Structure 1
Amino acid sequence: MALAATSVKVPTISCLNHGSLTSTSRSTIHNKRAVHVSSRAFLCGAKISDVKPVRVSSANRQRRHCQIRSEKTLDELDAEFGIEDSLKIVNGKGGMKRVVLSHYNGSSAEVYLYGACVTSWTQPHGSEVLFMRPDAVFDGEKPISGGIPLCFPQFGPGVMQQHGFARNSMWDIISTSADVNPDYPEPAVTLKLSDNEYTRSMWDHSFEALYEVTLRRGGLQTQLRVQNTGSDTLDFTAALHSYIGVLDSASPSVVVKGMKGKEYLDKVPDPNNPERKVEDRESVTFGHGLVDSVYLDTDPEALLDVGTGCMVAIENTTGFTDHVVWNPHETMPACWQDFVCVESAKVGSPVILGPGEEWIGELSLSTFDL
């Protein structure tokens, strides 16, 4: 059953073996699919990063497209990028455009063009994995609170606004696709953000960021690809700020595993001057107070027991080296017991890119029964 975006407690994720992953089948999230490069992108004057392999849809539903600005009407976008039974572009909350991905197994995901924010990922039996905060607004001005906000080019506080500008910028669709095997389509959308007057007012660098969201049989995969398109070296930090719904974060059964022995930055005493510590617990719990920890150089996989007999795996498959664990406790009384954030991050040491260089950070989310 899905979490409601209110302060009322409701049951959350339950795997029930309906399309959930076992330790064996979870490896399928990394299966490669056939790809093709669109020659049409060159006709648009695209850069090399624009013509990364574009996945194609099944049967007669191929999609090989150049960048289409989000100023296009909803009908135009859906006609250009929609894939029958797999992907559609529709109006979301506040009249904002969103992409809906539908998998043949019954799972689904939603991505807003504003902020490239993934706001929903449901299991085949309908259970919602992600959590949307009750104070989330969809007005095209404030970042969307909940789901998977994209933090770039800064994580946390710093010289620019909190968590950077990516989460309150409008992204453009540059491609959509589904698997070439008509029996097992895996829908994907790739969004793009380039430097503009707004971004340069905070971060005076030329860049291109591509964000691909793929709904797989075994889970949800997201990939952030950043290229330095300028003549100067740039550096940044980044994170995928995953809000995951839990039964009750105050419960001792809701825990994060996989951090024992890892060095971490405890931001609770002072977010601007965090204390360095080493985690000595087998499991991180949340009932005792605010948790705001940046675990450095972690193992690829962090595990969150959501308290329903289901585990969510948050895996850094490429690029991301850290995990951030956050729960606001009573500083957010309306909903702190309804979610835990376990984030894929590159925070401990920034990414440094010379002219023309590229960085890729990839997150895979999956669920399995305990």
Structure 2
Amino acid sequence: MDRRNKPSALASTPAAPPQPTVDITHEHSRVSATLPTGERVEVLLHGANVLSWKDAAGQEKLWLSESAALDGSKPVRGGIPVVFPVFGTAPDHEATSKLPQHGFARNSRWEFLGRSTSEGSSSSVKLDFGLSSENLAEGVKALWPYKFNLIYSVSLDPESLSTSLVVTNDGDVSFDFQTLLHTYFKVNDISSIEVSGLEDSEFIDKLASQAVSKQSGAIAFSGETDRIYTPAKGPKHPVVISDGGKPVFRIVRDNLDQVVVWNPWVDKAAATADFTPNDGWKNMVCVEPGSVKGWQKLDAGDAFEAAQSITLA
């Protein structure tokens, strides 16, 4: 019998778009995030060190030493170490004079605070990590007895990676600090690499007794390089890494007034125990946004926020 008022078929509910996945692996020592399009980032909780950043095709964008310590025994050689509260060593700065090189953030166990995505977006993910005076090792507390809180965020998008740091003074007295994002970029051949965007900028040459010079043209590499630039065009003007004349990375800074450019070349790489292979210097260049010339003073209750955004050019 033909029914006159047959019920209509229920409309199918559209499937939700694929979402980024976040995994905690290696006995809860690493956090990784993968976008539906294939991009991936991996962060070691020791130092909140970004170990790997891959594009949708699986190509690695960061250089990591083959002998980097990933077991928490020492800072990681490669990726993106977080430098805080001192860059290098500062024997003449009383508050940080006893700290190890580049401070303690890169050699402390951070806490994974969780993930977040932009509302309605499936094409990005942000991972948050925390370190505070409360969870520092007792020996480190004795060397730097200030109350602080650090929030480090790693944001992955299809064409970019951003890392940001918020420093809060939770104590009753002010403290001074320096900070830097020590990014190791993976490149095909250092001899064909140029860094532009720092033209006409003053720099301190750490290999020439801290002599101050001015950059003329793009930076090319023919030997060990270790320079602290104060960019003439400000933080929003991109610093560009090019390979054979073709841009590959664009770096934009926020509230980080200096850029360190570093390559160890033959002798320094060979003399560095955890730098392998020995000729790995051919395949990396460090371009490191930071606040390292002088000191940032943070009063009680105040906060400092800074970031870098790296875009695939």
Instruction: Normalising by structure 1, report the TM-score.
Output: 0.71
d(CA) in 2 for partners of 1:297, 1:237:
17
Amino acid at match of 1:277: S
> In structure 2, the residue corresponding to 1:277 is in which secondary structure?
strand
Q: Which residue of 2 aligns with 1:149?
A: 81
Q: Which residue of 1 aligns with 2:301?
A: 356
Amino acid at match of 1:295: Y
Deviation at 1:177, TM superposition (A): 1.5
d(CA) in 2 for partners of 1:134, 1:212:
26
> In structure 1, the residue corresponding to 2:103 is in which secondary structure?
coil
Q: Which residue of 2 aligns with 1:304?
A: 241
- Of 1, 22, 40, the match for 1:108: 40
Correspondence 1:22-171 to 2 at 5 A: 85-91=20-26, 97-158=29-90, 159=97, 160-171=99-110
Q: 1:171 to 1:105 in 2, by over 3 A?
A: same
Q: Which residue of 2 aligns with 1:319?
A: 255
d(CA) in 1 for partners of 2:89, 2:243:
28
Q: Which residue of 2 aligns with 1:236?
A: 177
d(CA) in 2 for partners of 1:244, 1:308:
17
> In structure 2, the residue corresponding to 1:332 is in which secondary structure?
helix
| RMSD value, Cα | 2.0
> In structure 1, the residue corresponding to 2:226 is in which secondary structure?
strand
Deviation at 1:186, TM superposition (A): 1.4
Give yes or no for the alignment of 1:295 onto 2:229.
yes
- Of 184, 187, 204, the match for 2:125: 187
Deviations 1:176-235 (A, max 9, x none): 1123215x3411111100013243222121100000111013300111000000111101
- Of 184, 194, 198, the match for 1:259: 198
Runs of 4+ displaced beyond 3 Å: 306-310
Amino acid at match of 1:279: Q
- Of 144, 163, 169, the match for 1:203: 144
Deviation at 1:305, TM superposition (A): 1.2
Deviation at 1:97, TM superposition (A): 1.2
d(CA) in 2 for partners of 1:268, 1:155:
16
Which segments of 5 or more consecutive residues in structure 1 lack a partner in the other structure? 1-58, 61-82
Deviation at 1:307, TM superposition (A): 4.2
8 Å contact from structure 2 (residues 35, 123) kept in 1: yes
> In structure 2, the residue corresponding to 1:201 is in which secondary structure?
helix
Which segments of 5 or more consecutive residues in structure 2 lack a partner in the other structure? 1-14, 91-96, 271-277
Deviation at 1:337, TM superposition (A): 0.7
d(CA) in 2 for partners of 1:351, 1:307:
37
8 Å contact from structure 2 (residues 19, 123) kept in 1: no
User: Number of matched residues?
Assistant: 277
d(CA) in 1 for partners of 2:141, 2:55:
39
Q: Which residue of 1 aligns with 2:9?
A: none
More strand by share: 2
Instruction: Normalising by structure 2, report the TM-score.
Output: 0.83
- Identity across matched positions, percent: 32
- Find the structure with the greater CA-based Rg: 2
